[in-house]
Amino acid sequence: MMLNSAIDFMQVVDWSRAQFAMTAIYHWLFVPLTLGLGFIIAFMETAYYRTGNEFWKRTTQFWMRLFGVNFAIGIATGLILEFEFGTNWSNYSHFVGDIFGAPLAIEGIMAFFLEATFVAVMFFGWNKVSKGFHLTATWMTAIGANLSALWILVANGWMQYPVGMTFNPETARNEMTSFWDVLLSPVAINKFCHTVTSAYVLSAVFVVGVSAWFLLRKREQLMARKSMIVASIFGMVAALLTATTGDNSGRVIAEVQPMKLAAMEGLYDGQRGAGLTIVGVLKPEKERTGNKEAFYFQFEIPKLLSLMSYRDADAYVAGINDLVNGNPDQGLLSAREKMERGRVAIDELARYRAARQQGDAAVMKEVAAKFSPDTPEGREFLKNYFRYFGYGYLSQPSDIVPDVPLVFYSFRVMVGAGVFFILLFAVNLWLLWKKREERYRWWLYVSLWSILLAYLASQAGWIVAEVGRQPWTIQDLLPTVAAVSRVDAGSVMVTFFIFVALFTTLLIAEIMIMTKQIKIGPKNE
């Protein structure tokens, strides 16, 4: 009976993870285009405002129609994603609700209402409000979309690196002690900057690809060329910023999520002067026991991983084996030791609850002091035991290792695509400057099909970020097995397939509407 109960619970965990991942994947198909296309539209309308040229108004309205379709469907999937925190991840919501809820509340109150206020003016205010007010509404819609992303990514960044909080044993909840520590943590800042700039790249590739379609069919050629110029300049700047923020993110990950870094590089044995793997093919899991056995073949740049991670070419980079088995020479505890320390923290919390039920004030005071950052005893306990709280829920040390091949290959898809996009924008700008785009039609086809690569790279980036931190919902504090709701596995399974059908229908509808609007092209007054 107990075995069946355990199997059913793990099914709840697996189906809840699958449902959330599926919802997030669909949601992120719509969000990045919204984040960047809003600014591209704002630049185009600014050109209309400054020149009074009706060409720019017509061009702005065309791209605005595509923005609107994507914007509406993105909101629908985002709302469902937030509801899942309460339905499938109630233990998580209880454990961190005071912290995680704050950025999401701000997102709803400030950013979402900012978008809702101005988006109607942007779409329906042409010739009804002044040109200046309409331009303001367009810019505010673009800014609002990015502010919305800021607060969501701050919440996600806190999950990757929990700071600015203290644990209250009375409520068994983490409570915020510093809003600014949460907002300005290095993980949150880098995650926001890297995510939105990569979204700008996707948006630019989308505009470039659609413009290439018009050029291939010799339709709306002036609009296509001007749009491609604006998008290529915007995309080039965004791509270079994405590379810079990606480098900063790698440095932060090396400090706070070393297992994610090790999985990204397929690094099993830590070493000084670690090289950065450019390409490689991993062997099956049972054969990956060390660096020499990990790859069928591997091409790496010597010492570059150490240099990029710690700004020191000879710095030590921990590998998967170091983090699982420990490395005393580098001050690394084994996963088993962390599990034991985590269980001490869990037992202390259980002792507090038992004392509260029995009305034993002395024991409650004793245990509460251990969770307090204001006492030497508390600071020692928090540093050596509570920081590993989540490890106490794991069953074996290997649980801390994510899916290495998925993270490893996704990282290379993301980076490789990013390098290609810099080339794409540069070549398009050169061809347009030389007025040779018609002579290189094959490159226009490359530009068109690059839209699919942009979406693939965008999804790969999130796979690196989220799969790379498994098994944690909150790094080191709460694994997925302790975060799910106590619900029936069958209900999660049924809603999973309902959402798959719903989101797939929405995606197909969006693609059909978008392609129809592209074929129609810009409309005349």
pLDDT greater at residue 8 or residue 483: 483
Residue 202 lies in a domain: yes
Name the phi and psi angles at 245, rounded to 5. -70, -30
Last residue of a domain, one of 343, 378, 397: 397
Looking at 48-52, 123-127, 263-267, which range is the least confident one? 123-127
Q: Cα–Cα distance between 470 and 14 in angstroms, integer?
A: 13
Percent of the chain with pLDDT over 70: 97
pLDDT of the residue at 95: 86
CB-based contact 260:453 (threshold 8 Å): no
pLDDT of the residue at 109: 73
Q: Which residues contact 291 (CB under 8 A, 6 or more apart)?
A: 267, 268, 269, 271, 319
Residue 525 lies in a domain: no
Q: Which domain holds residue 51?
A: 2-257+403-467+469-520
CB-based contact 21:470 (threshold 8 Å): no
Same domain, 434 and 411: yes
pLDDT in tens, 377-436: 889 999 999 999 999 999 999 999 999 999 999 999 999 999 999 999 999 999 988 887
Same domain, 215 and 140: yes
**Band of the pLDDT at 7, cuts 50, 70, 90?**
low
Same domain, 26 and 139: yes
Residue 160 lies in a domain: yes
CB-based contact 482:13 (threshold 8 Å): no
Going from the C-alpha of 344 to that of each of 251, 351, 392, 480, the distances in angstroms are 32, 10, 8, 20
Last residue of a domain, one of 365, 397, 429: 397
pLDDT of the residue at 5: 54
Going from the C-alpha of 418 to that of each of 127, 191, 447, the distances in angstroms are 40, 16, 14
Residue 475 lies in a domain: yes
Is 70 exceeded by the pLDDT of residue 111? no
Mean pLDDT of 290-296: 87
pLDDT of the residue at 477: 93
pLDDT of the residue at 6: 56
Mean pLDDT of the chain: 89
**Band of the pLDDT at 522, cuts 50, 70, 90?**
confident
pLDDT of the residue at 86: 76
Same domain, 65 and 125: yes
Where are any strands of DSSP class E within 263-306? Answer: 271-272, 276-282, 295-301
CB-based contact 470:480 (threshold 8 Å): yes
Domain count, the chain: 3
**Band of the pLDDT at 317, cuts 50, 70, 90?**
very high
pLDDT of the residue at 287: 84
Looking at 49-58, 99-108, 136-145, 509-518, which range is the least confident one? 99-108
Same domain, 110 and 230: yes
Question: Concatenated DSSP letters for 367-419?
Answer: HHHHT-TTSHHHHHHHHHTGGGGGGGG-SSGGGG---HHHHHHHHHHHHHHHH
pLDDT in tens, 349-391: 999 999 999 888 888 989 889 998 888 888 999 999 999 999 9
Same domain, 68 and 96: yes
Looking at 102-106, 233-237, 469-473, which range is the least confident one? 102-106
Same domain, 122 and 204: yes
Tell me the CA end-to-end span of the chain in Å, nearest whole number.
Answer: 71
CB-based contact 230:43 (threshold 8 Å): yes
pLDDT in tens, 197-210: 999 999 999 999 99
Last residue of a domain, one of 397, 414, 441: 397
pLDDT of the residue at 89: 86
Residue 274 lies in a domain: yes
pLDDT of the residue at 151: 87
**Band of the pLDDT at 172, cuts 50, 70, 90?**
confident
Q: Cα–Cα distance between 154 and 194 in angstroms, integer?
A: 12
Rounded to the nearest 5 degrees, what angle is found at the Cα of 15, between the Cα atoms of 11 and 16? 115
Percent of the chain with pLDDT over 90: 58
- At which residue do the structure tokens 């449902």 appear? 19
Same domain, 271 and 219: no
Residue 435 lies in a domain: yes
pLDDT of the residue at 1: 47
Same domain, 393 and 410: no
pLDDT of the residue at 2: 45
Could you write out the three-class secondary structure of 239-262? HHHHHHHHHHHHHHHHHHCHHHHH
Mean pLDDT of 248-262: 93
What letter represents residue 7's amino acid? I
Q: Cα–Cα distance between 482 and 89 in angstroms, integer?
A: 9
Pairing of strands 271-272, 316-317: antiparallel
pLDDT of the residue at 87: 82
Same domain, 252 and 114: yes
Is 60 exceeded by the pLDDT of residue 525? no
Is 90 exceeded by the pLDDT of residue 94? no
CB-based contact 230:39 (threshold 8 Å): no
Residue 486 lies in a domain: yes
Same domain, 290 and 168: no
Same domain, 176 and 131: yes
pLDDT in tens, 123-166: 888 888 999 999 999 999 999 889 888 888 888 899 999 998 89
pLDDT greater at residue 19 or residue 205: 205
Hey, is 126 helix, strand or coil? coil
